[in-house]
Structure 1
Amino acid sequence: MRTSLGEVADVIDAARVLYADEPATSELLDGYAQRLREPLRVAVAGIVKAGKSTLLNALIGERIAPTDAGECTRAITWYRHASTAHVTLHLRDGGTVSLPVRRVEGRLDLDLQGRSADDVAWIDVGWPSESLRSTILIDTPGIASLTRENSQRAMQFLVPENTPSAADAIVYLLRHVHSSDVRFLEAFRDTAAGTSQTVNAVAVLSRADEIGSGRIDSLVSAAAIADRYRRDGELRALALGVLPIAGLLAEGARTLRESEFIALREVARLDRRVREALLVSVDRFVRPTATTSLSIPVRENLLARFGLFGVRLAAALIRGGASTSSALADRLVQQSGMVALQEFFASHFRARAVPLKARGVLQGVEQLIRERPRPGADAVLGGIERIVARSHDLRELALLADLRTATVSLSPREVAEAERILGGEGTAVTARLGLRDTATPAERDARVDELLARWRALSESPVSDRYTAHLCRMIVRSVEGVASEAAAGRAARGASDVVLSGGPA
């Protein structure tokens, strides 16, 4: 059985009755109810200069998040879909202030009007971007900042002491695995997931082009490093995946202007020896030269927008056939790693939006009641326990995390297969079964039969300890769920065919 947000909302309503005489607690519960109705909340976090705002702009598809070191970058900023653009400051004293929507050189100008970040609880930005319809993105100050207040502001939001994290999932940016990164992800896992230790984070090597010193094949090297982190490093127990992203390239590609394409095309059309000499280094690219008609400010802008790696790659793609700005933008997005991250969002975060939101809300209500019990509290706690016990998707997430930390009497191949069945490589039927997307119904049915036979045998094996046997039974339930989902899909398609074939000529 899958989690029902309606049942979770009923738990909130029951808790409201218990604490009806406490306005502050009622407001907290109203916030939990609002969270259930909103799109999934995904926070973007990382140490200073990891490229958070740049990646956020790439995800939104517009250059609206400020990337300088001003006061606004020290505040927590929420970006959500709205029919018309608006910016609202939520102050620590409880007041709100509407800011004018103003852009400077394409970026949104978040002018705090003389206030410091210490005066601001959070900034709410509504923006008419299709990318924000299904996800609320939250920009946070840098972890391990030189300014202690900045780090505390981010930590208090993402890993609060007495309540669940306000984020349902997190994209954590790192340039390499630092002890500060590991400590934060451990804290987020434990706070965000409670006793279930739900894996709801993805780690991103956000400046992957720098790993290969700006070479065109830099992302290949970065992908190998990311795969090693994912399989063998400390990040395995803390994140569902590790992905390489050239963040600056992704932002530049998604916001590419026609004038920039024309400038990049001129670089691509230079004689090979001239072009290679010009692209040897940043200094060489922007020094005065008669070999190109591009002015120094134009070349400086290209570096600021794409980096030397991006200019080199764009020139190569144009020479390879990207003859329009839209074609170049599409190929740069693909090369940047952004497509893989967007697919990860879809298959791991948005596909799990209901259990991820429910887990955080249920944890918050349970924690509230246990810390401040009242007559009738046992009934509410019983409702939470029933939801968790019946919701297989919540238990799947807990088991997926356990497989990365607990010791089980399974072979490495069996552990990998168990993770895949539980959704570790995506929640689609073919992803769970380990089949290509074009697999036929017969191939799916054969794989289901194979997996059921293997995992039922493992669950009944006399050499399996109690926990491993329980895990294997949960795997069997997941395979049965996949089989039901596949059958329902075939039935739906069959009904559609009947309607189409029986309609008027």
Structure 2
Amino acid sequence: MIQSGIAGAAELLRQARELYQWDPAALAVLDELDQRLAGPLRIAVAGMVKAGKSTLLNAIIGEEIAPTDAGECTRIVTWYRYGHAPRITLHPLTGEPRALPVNRIDGRLVFSLGELQAEDVEKLVVDWPSASLQDLTLIDTPGIASLSSEVSGRSTAFLLPEDAPMAADAVIYLMRHLHASDVHFLESFKDTAAGKSGTVNALAVLSRADEIGAGRIDALISAAVIADRYSRDENLKPLALGVVPVAGLLAQSARTMRQRDVDAFMALARLDRNQREKMMLSVDRFVRAGGPDSLDPELKASLVQRFGLFGIRLAVALIRGGIDSPTELAHELARRSGLGQLLGTVDSLFQTRAEALKARAAVVGLQSLLSGSRSGQAAVLETALEQLLAGAHEFKELKLLGLLRTGGAGLTPGQSREAEQLVGGRGNLPHQRLGLSPEAGLDEIARATRDALDRWRHIAENPLLVDSAAVDACRVVLRSCEGILAAMPVAR
């Protein structure tokens, strides 16, 4: 009987340990794969220079611990993972890892590399007691297409390794607009990292969405329209599972808002409307204009730096609309920044199938290790690996998602859209697979699943369906529907 992806991968790693029990280097690789299988989902945050990667990462974590300036540390791949106490570990290219001091200035974490330069460092690992990191390890990467080929190459080598699985299970890819360079990277990412299992595991983010509307209070509405258009773009659709608009700067600042920020917004809300609107015609006018008395130019400049004019306008509008609690204001600003939608999308597309994504990475890593061995036992394991990839339903779903995104499943456009949803391409929970509301009850889910089963059995039994890819796609969809019914808490 074919094992599930996670159980099958764990068993194959155990067998590989017996094969390589006298090989320390191979055992080190297996240790890493075991840790990967047992640990949280790993998501890399990637994008071109100035796309706002570190800012968004801080927003997700809820603290300003990722450097957002153009310093040395933004040129280094940095891991952020859960730890019971703050700790920063530097891993040099040569030599042993060393601890760095944990220093915060004005609330922000500051990295000091000592005598080392960025090019001497393989990676930084930041352990931090944030609840957001308990089920998720985030990896901040240097900007792609940097003016420095060394910086750009560092990200490319990490995200697109030539002879090993990528160190992340999925990628959040940030872009300010859709450019050919974004498509080129995502094509490379899919071909090398995800292509080994034929899946798509990238989510695109329109990361400075408030700039699209020139900082107007309705900027996110305009950004959502553009994000929807990008998600249907024929070049991008095969490479990313969706496009989410986020005002990254506002998201970060809302999650790290201070009392002095709230006080400043309250003072602005009390101003005469005409005076306030004239102040906010531009950044320069806002900083230099007189009033309110409690806001000096330095504080105004800080507000602009942290929230942008969009965030300031929105905060004032919310206060004038009746919000007077700092906590409620912070939550509403974060929600309206698009951060909640992003986190929800990450959860439905990646977290709910984390075990399958981690198992796929472990299998790809084991394949790379075995490819250099000539022993007969290695050949046996390679055969078992191929059987697992071909038989485990989680991997079949991931592979079919990739085919559906590229039009290679041999189905009609309507069938492809439904198949993509049923195998979890728009969320892995039963109601998401079936296109139902989150409040759908068991009876409604059961009826919808049976309807889908009948529909896809009819498609599969159509004598005109001769394309082998389409036949295989029908089998995967049917198995997914059967899996929904089998997982329901009561027999129906």
1:52 paired residue number = 53
After superposition, give the CA deviation of every residue in 1:441-485 in whole Å (9 maximum; x if it has no partner): 332222122111111111111222221122112111111111222
Are the structure 2 counterparts of residues 24 and 285 from structure 1 closer, same or farther at C-alpha, using a change threshold of 3 Å? same
After superposition, give the CA deviation of every residue in 1:230-285 in whole Å (9 maximum; x if it has no partner): 12342211111110000000001001111101101111121110111111111110
2:149 paired residue number = 148
Q: Relative to structure 2, which stretch is displaced further, 76-85 or 342-351? A: 342-351
- Paired with 1:132 and 1:266, the residues of 2 have a C-alpha distance of 35
After superposition, give the CA deviation of every residue in 1:300-354 in whole Å (9 maximum; x if it has no partner): 0100110111001111111112111111111111100000111112111111111
2:479 paired residue number = 477
For residue 126 of structure 1, give the secondary structure of its aligned residue in structure 2: strand
- Paired with 2:170 and 2:409, the residues of 1 have a C-alpha distance of 27
Taking only the aligned residue pairs, the percentage that are identical comes to 49
- Paired with 1:124 and 1:59, the residues of 2 have a C-alpha distance of 17
- CA contact under 8 A between 1:41 and 1:135: conserved in structure 2? yes
After superposition, give the CA deviation of every residue in 1:87-111 in whole Å (9 maximum; x if it has no partner): 1101111311111111011111110
Residue 81 of structure 1 pairs with residue 82 of structure 2: yes
User: What is the Cα deviation at residue 403 of structure 1?
Assistant: 0.3
- Paired with 2:167 and 2:118, the residues of 1 have a C-alpha distance of 19
Q: For 1:39-438, what aligned pairs fall within 5 Å after superposition?
A: 39-290=40-291, 292-438=293-439
For residue 425 of structure 2, give the secondary structure of its aligned residue in structure 1: coil
Q: Relative to structure 2, which stretch is displaced further, 445-454 or 160-169? A: 445-454
> Paired residue for 1:468, among 467, 470, 485?
470
Structure-2-length-normalised TM-score: 0.96
After superposition, give the CA deviation of every residue in 1:411-469 in whole Å (9 maximum; x if it has no partner): 32222111110111111111111111222333222212211111111111122222112
User: What is the Cα deviation at residue 194 of structure 1?
Assistant: 3.5
- CA contact under 8 A between 1:2 and 1:392: conserved in structure 2? no
- CA contact under 8 A between 2:5 and 2:360: conserved in structure 1? no
- CA contact under 8 A between 1:175 and 1:205: conserved in structure 2? yes
User: What is the Cα deviation at residue 5 of structure 1?
Assistant: 2.9
Q: Relative to structure 2, which stretch is displaced further, 286-295 or 234-243? A: 286-295
After superposition, give the CA deviation of every residue in 1:138-178 in whole Å (9 maximum; x if it has no partner): 11100000110001111111111111101111111001112
- CA contact under 8 A between 1:3 and 1:358: conserved in structure 2? no
For residue 162 of structure 2, give the secondary structure of its aligned residue in structure 1: coil
Are the structure 2 counterparts of residues 409 and 197 from structure 1 closer, same or farther at C-alpha, using a change threshold of 3 Å? closer
- Paired with 2:481 and 2:5, the residues of 1 have a C-alpha distance of 21
After superposition, give the CA deviation of every residue in 1:342-372 in whole Å (9 maximum; x if it has no partner): 1112111111111101111101211222243
Look up the equivalent residue of 1:482 and give its one-letter code: I
- Paired with 1:380 and 1:290, the residues of 2 have a C-alpha distance of 73
- CA contact under 8 A between 1:197 and 1:398: conserved in structure 2? yes
- Paired with 1:238 and 1:403, the residues of 2 have a C-alpha distance of 11
Look up the equivalent residue of 2:366 and give its one-letter code: V
- Paired with 1:466 and 1:383, the residues of 2 have a C-alpha distance of 24
Structure-1-length-normalised TM-score: 0.94
- Paired with 1:2 and 1:75, the residues of 2 have a C-alpha distance of 39
- Paired with 1:155 and 1:3, the residues of 2 have a C-alpha distance of 32
After superposition, give the CA deviation of every residue in 1:176-211 in whole Å (9 maximum; x if it has no partner): 112221121112112222432211110000000001
Look up the equivalent residue of 2:184 and give its one-letter code: R
In the alignment, structure 2 segments of 5+ residues that lack a partner are: none
1:500 paired residue number = none
For residue 450 of structure 2, give the secondary structure of its aligned residue in structure 1: helix
- Paired with 1:196 and 1:406, the residues of 2 have a C-alpha distance of 17
For residue 66 of structure 1, give the secondary structure of its aligned residue in structure 2: coil
For residue 67 of structure 1, give the secondary structure of its aligned residue in structure 2: coil
- CA contact under 8 A between 1:193 and 1:359: conserved in structure 2? no
For residue 267 of structure 2, give the secondary structure of its aligned residue in structure 1: helix
- CA contact under 8 A between 2:183 and 2:236: conserved in structure 1? yes
- Paired with 1:25 and 1:96, the residues of 2 have a C-alpha distance of 20
User: What is the Cα deviation at residue 18 of structure 1?
Assistant: 2.9
- Paired with 1:402 and 1:410, the residues of 2 have a C-alpha distance of 10
1:449 paired residue number = 450
User: What is the Cα deviation at residue 290 of structure 1?
Assistant: 4.2
Residue 7 of structure 1 pairs with residue 13 of structure 2: no
For residue 237 of structure 1, give the secondary structure of its aligned residue in structure 2: coil
- CA contact under 8 A between 2:161 and 2:193: conserved in structure 1? no
Aligned CA RMSD, in angstroms, stands at 1.6
Look up the equivalent residue of 2:298 and give its one-letter code: P
After superposition, give the CA deviation of every residue in 1:202-229 in whole Å (9 maximum; x if it has no partner): 0000000001111111111111111111
After superposition, give the CA deviation of every residue in 1:99-138 in whole Å (9 maximum; x if it has no partner): 1111011111110012111111111111000000000111
